[in-house]
Amino acid sequence: METVSVNTAFGGVQGVYTHASAETATAMTFSVFVPEHEAGAKLPVLWYLSGLTCTHANVTEKGEFRRACAEHGVIFVAPDTSPRGDDVPDDEGYDFGKGAGFYVDATEAPWSANFRMRAYIETELPAVIAAHFPADMARQGITGHSMGGHGALTIALRDPARFRSVSAFAPIVSPLSCPWGEKALTGYIGPDKAAWRAYDACALIEDGARLPDLLVDQGTADGFLEGQLKTHLLEEACARAGQPATIRMQEGYDHSYYFISSFMADHVGWHAERLKA
Amino acid sequence: METVSVNTAFGGVQGVYTHASAETATAMTFSVFVPEHEAGAKLPVLWYLSGLTCTHANVTEKGEFRRACAEHGVIFVAPDTSPRGDDVPDDEGYDFGKGAGFYVDATEAPWSANFRMRAYIETELPAVIAAHFPADMARQGITGHSMGGHGALTIALRDPARFRSVSAFAPIVSPLSCPWGEKALTGYIGPDKAAWRAYDACALIEDGARLPDLLVDQGTADGFLEGQLKTHLLEEACARAGQPATIRMQEGYDHSYYFISSFMADHVGWHAERLKA
């Protein structure tokens, strides 16, 4: 792991790091905020998965998480959204290929060689975090935005024992039911929709996966709400399955970091309550 | 005035606007955050002047001021740092010309036609703010970063009656005493250093200007501290003149928005206390 940059912020250290990923066969960059803490202390970890077109940088610069993380003593980890580099295949669209890994392990050529974001987030990067930071890996929470909200929900639903807390900002709740999902999952894992169910929060809940609870914020003025995000599908899946969920429609908010930053402290506090219980 | 964008944030509205400036003879872009407020209410205004290379966008995206401004009911105005456009003269350096207006009215050709940032900030933009926003212009505060900290201090020292509160993040405290100032003031207003004193916070204090008090935060790990910012010159000028000042050296902080955002809520609170007294 190499250090790209470190900056003192809110009494802690905001770092950006890079390492050679075996899963993606590329260098991968991520950011970590470590609050001020006592020597030898281990802090809970909140994962934040970003949305389409983003890198670690968007939330690191615009997410406004550091004040709340410093207050609650929570490490904040922001990975990239896909492999990068000239040798990595790409698509002309913003919603497939680089910047659009969808947190899946691709099985289709040419994507399968590098697009292994599920294994990267589930296995490889946690080992790097555990090895290099004062992280208590027994206390992990996960959140994310849009495509990253989809990532957070599906990763947690497949492995609820790993996470004490799960939330999302304006998540894609069902790739089976929206154009972004149709395009990405067809491309990465092929046309067999039975295989997609492991990557669909609503389908996972329908198939029996459960979390203790979850928090979702969704803006009513989000231009992707009707055509892509379809929050009501998650509300309906949770209601049918008896999955506890706090899903809040936020009047007037859009899909931007102005929305995310407005509710970030709420989410960090919600995670901290469960991570420190 | 035309609206470039509006986003709901922290219960209020973060807008970006553009207007034709008579002073700069260009279009000028600025951002304004208006917190949620009662119909008909007028809110105090905090001006934030940005540093070299910045536009309104840097602080708007990375400044983390909205939570505190919403809490205290303060409007936050972030102007650009210079005129822009293909017809505006420029310099090869990042520290002169576009993005480096230094909040002066240039008297030297070719700069004098457009680089009238003092008149723009002191007179023209306040009239636009008063006309279009629920702003109580009897309650103004001013702050800024680096070159913008210089702007905030000098504008307030020349017209203390306009501002109830003044602060700065890592300000240039004496253009007479640093390479950035030497280059910019020679270029914009010529070699006569007597004329520079109106644009030098330390000289203004030495020449008798006074504020009720002022707040400055400066990082000890700021790479510009020794060669350009020279905070000690302001400390010494204030001490000699009996000018009340709270000048805080912040251990380990650099010149970036990681530093600014860490202390932004402190500054907004400090201004709010005086603006709402």
**What ipTM score was computed for the predicted complex, to two decimals?**
0.95
Closest-CA residue in chain B for A9? B258
Q: Provide the pLDDT for residue A222.
A: 98
Rounded to two decimals, what is the model's pTM?
Answer: 0.97
In a mutagenesis test of the A interface, which of B7, B251, B254 is the best target, namely the one with the most A β-carbons within 10 Å? B7
pLDDT tens across B98-131, in order?
Answer: 999 999 999 999 999 999 999 999 999 999 999 9
Question: For chain B, what is the domain count?
Answer: 1
Residue A99 tokens, joined: 């910047």
What's the CATH code of the domain at B102? 3.40.50.1820
The verdict on a CB contact (< 8 Å) between A259 and B9 is: yes
Q: Closest CB to B7: pick one of A9, A64, A256.
A: A256
Q: Tell me the mean pLDDT in the region B45-58.
A: 98
Residue-averaged pLDDT of chain A? 98
The answer for residues whose C-beta is within 8 angstroms of residue A254's C-beta and 6 or more apart is A219, A221, A222, A223, B7, B8
Query: Where on the phi/psi map is residue B3: left (φ > 0), alpha (ψ -120 to 50), or beta?
Result: beta
Q: Closest CB to A61: pick one of B62, B259, B265.
A: B62
Q: Closest CB to B8: pick one of A10, A62, A252.
A: A252
The answer for residues whose C-beta is within 8 angstroms of residue B28's C-beta and 6 or more apart is B18, B19, B20, B21, B79, B80, B83, B84, B120, B125
Q: Provide the pLDDT for residue B130.
A: 98
The verdict on a CB contact (< 8 Å) between B259 and A221 is: no
In a mutagenesis test of the A interface, which of B225, B262, B267, B268 is the best target, namely the one with the most A β-carbons within 10 Å? B262
The answer for residues whose C-beta is within 8 angstroms of residue B137's C-beta and 6 or more apart is B45, B126, B129, B130
Q: How confident is the model at residue A184 (pLDDT cuts 50, 70, 90)?
A: very high
Residue B69 tokens, joined: 């401004």
The verdict on a CB contact (< 8 Å) between A262 and B10 is: yes
Q: How confident is the model at residue A192 (pLDDT cuts 50, 70, 90)?
A: very high
Q: Provide the pLDDT for residue A128.
A: 98
Q: How confident is the model at residue B227 (pLDDT cuts 50, 70, 90)?
A: very high
A177: containing domain: 2-275
B145 as an active site residue: the answer is: no
The verdict on a CB contact (< 8 Å) between A11 and B66 is: no
The verdict on a CB contact (< 8 Å) between A61 and B257 is: yes
Q: How confident is the model at residue A36 (pLDDT cuts 50, 70, 90)?
A: very high
Residue B255 tokens, joined: 């010149």
Q: How confident is the model at residue B183 (pLDDT cuts 50, 70, 90)?
A: very high
Q: Provide the pLDDT for residue B232.
A: 98
Residue in A146, A165, A167, A174 annotated catalytic: A146
pLDDT tens across A131-178, in order?
Answer: 999 999 999 999 999 999 999 999 999 999 999 999 999 999 999 999
Cβ of residue B259 closer than 8 Å to a chain A Cβ? yes
Strand-pair partners of A143: A48
Closest-CA residue in chain A for B263? A10
The verdict on a CB contact (< 8 Å) between B256 and A7 is: yes
Q: How confident is the model at residue B199 (pLDDT cuts 50, 70, 90)?
A: very high
Q: Provide the pLDDT for residue B68.
A: 98
The more confident residue out of A249 and B277 is A249
Residue A156 tokens, joined: 């947690």
Cis peptide before B110 (omega within 30 of 0): yes
Query: Where on the phi/psi map is residue A99: left (φ > 0), alpha (ψ -120 to 50), or beta?
Result: left
Residue-averaged pLDDT of chain B? 98
**Count of CB contacts below 8 A, A vs B?**
58
